Each structure stands twice: as C-alpha cells, then as structure tokens.
Amino acid sequence: MRRLALLTLVIPLLSACGGGHDATATKRLLVVVNAPFSSTPYLGRAIENGTRLAASQVNTTGVRVGDEHYSLTVRTMDTGLSPARAVANVRRAVSDGAIAIVDEGTGVDASWRLAARRGVPICIVFAGGQSLVDAGTRPDVFRIAPTDHGIAFRLAEYLVPKHLKVALLHDDSDYGTAGAKELRRAFARDPTSVAIDETLPADALDLSPQVLRARRAHATALLVWGRPATIASAITAARSAGWNVPFYAPPTGADPFVRQQLADHPTWVDGLTFAAGRLTAEVGAGPFTGFTARYVAAYGVDRVGVHTSGGSDVTEPPETPMYAYDFVNLLASALTKAGSTDPAKVTKALEEVTVEGANGDERAFNHSSHEGVVDDDVYFARFHDMTYAPVKDDPLSATLPTILQTTQ
C-alpha cells in the first residue's frame, strides 16, 4: 500500500517534469491584431488572416525560447479607424501581456508610447506615413508595408514624364493627409505638372464639386489618395459627368470595395492604375504562388464580389496578408534569438534576424531602419475587366508576371 501511495505521488510529478515539448505546449504568447474590422472589413480580415496563418504554421513545431517551447495565440481588436479606440486597444493589449501587436497603423502616433513602456513591438502592416516609424525615437515601432514616401515618389517618377497636368486629390482621413504630404514633396520637383491640390471630405457621398474644380483647372489626370470609398466616389463623379480622365491611386485603389461600388458600371474601373508593393521578387512568382496556395487552403479565396465580362469570379491576391505573415515569422525568429519572452529583448532581437518573405524577398530590420519594404519595390498595375496586371510602360513593372485573379 505504501509503494502504491508513493507511485501515486511520483507519476504526476513525472508527467509534469517529463514529456519535453508536450509539457510546455500549453505555454502561449499573445499576439494582438489591432485593425479596423468594422470600418474596412477586407483590410481588417486580411491582416488577421495573414497573422493567423503564420501563427498556425509556427505552432506546428512551436517557438523555441531557451529551453522552453511556446505557441502563439492571436486575438483581434477593432479600431473602427478611430485613433482613440486604437490607443485604448494597445493599452489593453499591453496590460494583457501581448508579446507583439500587428497594427493597421491608426493611432500609432500615440499608442507607441504605451507599448514602449513595456518594450512591446508594434508592426504596422498597412499605413505608410513617414512619421510613424523612426528607429531612433520610436524603437518599438516597425513596418512591413510600402511607405507613403516610396509610393508618392514612384508615382511622380511615373507620371511627370507623361507630361500630364495632374490633379492631386486626397481625402481628410489620416491616410489621405499623410499621403498628401508625400505627394507634395514628390511633385515639388516639377510643380508645373500639378493642376490643382484639393482636399476631399472622407465621408462625402458626392464628390462632383471637387472633381468639377479639377476639370476646370484643366487637369488631364486625377491622382486620388484616400480611402477606397473616396476613390470610388471620385471615379463615379468623373465618369457620370462624361469625363474619361485617367485615374491613379495608391494601394487602396486595389481594395475590393472600389470594384464593389462600381459593379454596375464595370467599364468605369478600366484604366484605373494603382501603385503598390510588388508581389513577386527576383526569384520569380514561385514563392508568392506557394504562399497563396497555403492561404487559400486555410481561408479559401478572397472573392471581390464582382465578375469579369466572361462571368468568372474575381478574387483578390493576398498582398496585405503577406505583410502580416512575414512579421509573425520575424517575431518567431526574434523570440528564439532573444532566448527570452521579455518584450524589450524581443524588440531588440527583431533588429538582428532575417527571414524569407512570402514573396521571396528577405524581410529584416536593423538598428538604423525599422522598414521592411524598400521604397524602390513599388510597381504599377492597371485594371481591365475588373482584374489588374502590371503596366508595360514602367521598367520594374514590365518585368513582373500577372497574378491569377479569377476562379470559375
């Protein structure tokens, strides 16, 4: 009986101390996704899906931190594009012990200080405002997404030689305001190419007055920097007035919402040209195709909700998910490098690790730059029949393959 009693005591102890990976499988690290799920659903869901896909792949073996193994758990928080809510979410995430925050970018001008108190890294995976990321003054803030600076200067580089009179239209959202600053800097090299610089109300349903002013200023191209709804409204205002002026846009031009709003007039989308981070690297389309296959296996295709003239369903390539996915893989590598779950040590280790990104590019930061996308890695794509392809009149874009965007 005494031996049985001793065995009864010893077996639980052996179970608790042994088993290696199994014994530590319940140890979890929290990654918070802070994004505008209610205001721009596609963007929020894309960031979440990229984060969860990387976390699920990391969790197949766990994250080795010293002698321990951890898994990543993902929690979402909705900003509603409100800076105040975004800041409140970061405060809660830090309080709940988050190891990192994957952020759309709203409110980071204030929230980074809250995260910095605990050393928690924030990675921006959409907003490109130049002031958001500074390795010296905001050591906890990183970004994997094209910068507004890179997008704006590439647009100027592309448009100025065409001898167009460009109307610079931007909405008054944080995204539009940040973009406007960079557009002005970029086009300052040739101010004669600018016909008018106009601010658009982000919540306006009708932009006819502002578009009419651009037309009266003799604009021969409209560059609209703003939320997807702003771009759709500007196109509607011009086309319904019979003005077949070419449209240019930042990455939000490719947001499914633009095509959904213009679904009753699909030809209005034709010719819309947007600038964005390239989806494929020098190694070719293989890595991004592989990433897309894994993404689709996990979440299905992202259907835009419109069709080509031939009746095919239009799908959206997982560009935004790619950036969140890459950061989570960098985070896992940094945790192992740091050998610690102290957020401050992990933040420091993020400057010392490199991973292969979903598109085949290397993703890395260093002590002087917390930008994960090079400004030159921006291409142009143009819509036709509700899908887009790289343009042929730009040296970089002309080398890129067209990514499949339809399904039967």
Domain with residue 399: its CATH number is 3.40.50.2300
Q: What local confidence, expressed as pLDDT, does residue 408 receive? A: 65
Say whether both 194 and 121 belong to one domain. Answer: no
Same domain, yes or no, for 39 and 164?
A: no
Q: Identify the pLDDT of residue 17.
A: 39
Q: Is 15 domain-assigned?
A: no
Say whether both 63 and 137 belong to one domain: yes
Give yes or no: residues 48 and 172 share one domain. Answer: no
- CA distances to 57, 199, 296, 394 from 291, in Å: 12, 38, 9, 26
Domain annotation covers residue 85:
yes
User: Which pLDDT score is estimated for 26?
Assistant: 58
Point out which residues pair with 347 in neighbouring strands: none
Same domain, 263 and 392: yes
**Terminal alpha carbon distance of the chain:** 70
Q: Which domain holds residue 400?
A: 149-277+307-316+377-407
> Mean pLDDT in runs of 10 for the chain (408 residues)?
38 38 66 96 96 97 94 98 97 98 96 97 96 96 97 98 97 95 96 97 94 98 97 98 98 96 97 96 88 97 95 96 98 98 97 96 96 93 98 96 90
3-state class (DSSP) for residue 20: coil
Residue 13 lies in a domain: no
Mark whether 206 and 273 lie in a shared domain.
Answer: yes
Residue 121: inside a domain: yes
Sign of the four-CA dihedral 340, 344, 349, 350: positive
**Domain-located, residue 269:** yes
Examine the domain organization and report whether 163 and 133 are in the same domain.
Answer: no
111 with 130, same domain: the answer is yes
Beta-strand pair 122-124/100-103: parallel
Count of domains observed in the chain: 2
**114 and 51 in one domain?**
yes
